[in-house]
Amino acid sequence: MERSNEQKIVILGAGQAAGTAVVTLRQMGHAGPITLVGDEDAPPYQRPPLSKAYFKGELPEARLYVKPEGYYGDQNVTMKLGESAVSLDRAAKTVTLSGGEVLPYDKLIIATGSRPRVIPVAGADLDGVMVLRTLADVDKLQPLATEGKRLVVVGAGYIGLEAAAVARQIGLKVTVLEAMDRVLARVTSPVISEFYQDIHRDAGVDVRLNARMKGFVGDDGQLSGVEMEDGEVIPADIVLVGIGILPNQELAEQAGLTCENGINTDEQSRTSDPDIYAVGDCANRVIVQYGHRGRLESVHNAIETAKIAAASICGKPGPALDAPWFWSDQYDLKLQTAGLLTGFDQAVVRGDMSTRKFSVWYLKDGTFLALDSVNMPGEFMAAKRLVGKNAKLDADALKDPATDLKTMIVEALA
């Protein structure tokens, strides 16, 4: 049964998930008032290009926007930017904003995203110590990141390595400090890690693994270096800290919603309150392809959960569920991941890594789990079809370049 399309909807957050929710609600015929609350001054925008094309100066700000600024006015969406929600009263169905305004809602969508982890060391408050999460972060970083400057990146995850690649391309001297024994350790396998370590080192990045940092040092409040536990001080004009993110779930917790590394939701993106939904980075969702819960930090997740929530509110069928996917651009390399590789016992390399075009297929007991592809978009798209299908693949045939991949996948899905 189609539900009322006149309900008051409030959306907390102004990232890709929030913007997608607005667009989908209107596309599905919701005619009621929509109010979007975001603590930044910009309308909903995409974050992934911030550490890539936007940092490099190749993409104007307007190209980041989910929709042009004028769209929201045309669609009768009230935008409250530069504000945040400070309390949620589920019984009264109201949200109180930082400016004191109280917003009533019939349905609430929490799309508050995530925030960078704070590094608990001395000197973290020095000028020059930065994170890269928002437009404002990059706008502050860009004028400082000029040729010859010394950048130290703390953390070798996607964002840290993407920023390191851009910094080298525009002429900075770059050091990457990673506390673990390989880069990208939380998101990929040793095979891919070693490849990217070599790529960055060949590009002139000083990649240091098992790095033990003591803190940041400076003069008169201005950063001058990074002090290591062995006493070495690495000179630095800029430090970029990228040691992971935390879900913004505090508002939901305070309101008594069930949270567990994010705000728990069901397969309709509903929280433990049926009139409240959570989408994007802050949501802990059911990952149906793998039969467990989890929190996904990706464009795919932001878009998909937002569409699911909007469909549920409008009483319409939800979107077809896609396999979890991720990507990272570094130098001339596009790393694309299909699926979740946790628990694999075999990593099968297909192609010649020296050509910078290859893929790594992850199996467990011969069953396909996930894939990493480097500059092989066709294999990425093919592998997405296999995610969650319990497809058996022969490792020897997979690594043989003579094996027709399309035929192999068709047979595995039969």
In the chain, domain spans: 9-115+245-314, 118-241, 332-413
Mean pLDDT of 139-167: 97
User: In the prediction, which pLDDT does 344 show?
Assistant: 96
Mean pLDDT of 395-402: 94
Residue 358: CB partners within 8 Å, gap ≥ 6? 349, 350, 351, 352, 373, 374, 375, 376
Other C-beta atoms lying within 10 Å of the C-beta of residue 125: 10
Tokens of 76: 């009768």
User: In the prediction, which pLDDT does 6 show?
Assistant: 84
Mean pLDDT of 60-89: 96
Q: 338, 380 in Cβ contact below 8 A? A: yes
User: In the prediction, which pLDDT does 4 show?
Assistant: 55
Query: What dotted CATH number matches 118-241?
Result: 3.50.50.60
Partners of residue 153 on adjacent β-strands: 176, 240
Mean pLDDT of 381-395: 94
Q: Does pLDDT of 374 surpass 50?
A: yes
Q: One fold for both 9-115+245-314 and 118-241?
A: yes
For domain 332-413, the CATH superfamily is FAD/NAD-linked reductase, C-terminal dimerisation domain (3.30.390.30)
Nearest to residue 340, comparing CAs of 376, 375, 384, 308? 384
User: In the prediction, which pLDDT does 2 show?
Assistant: 41
Confidence grade of residue 20 (pLDDT, cut at 50, 70, 90): very high
Cα 2 from Cα 315, distance rounded (Å): 5
Residue count (the chain): 414
Domain 9-115+245-314 has CATH 3.50.50.60: yes
Mean pLDDT of 227-231: 97
User: In the prediction, which pLDDT does 368 show?
Assistant: 97
The whole-model pTM stands at: 0.95
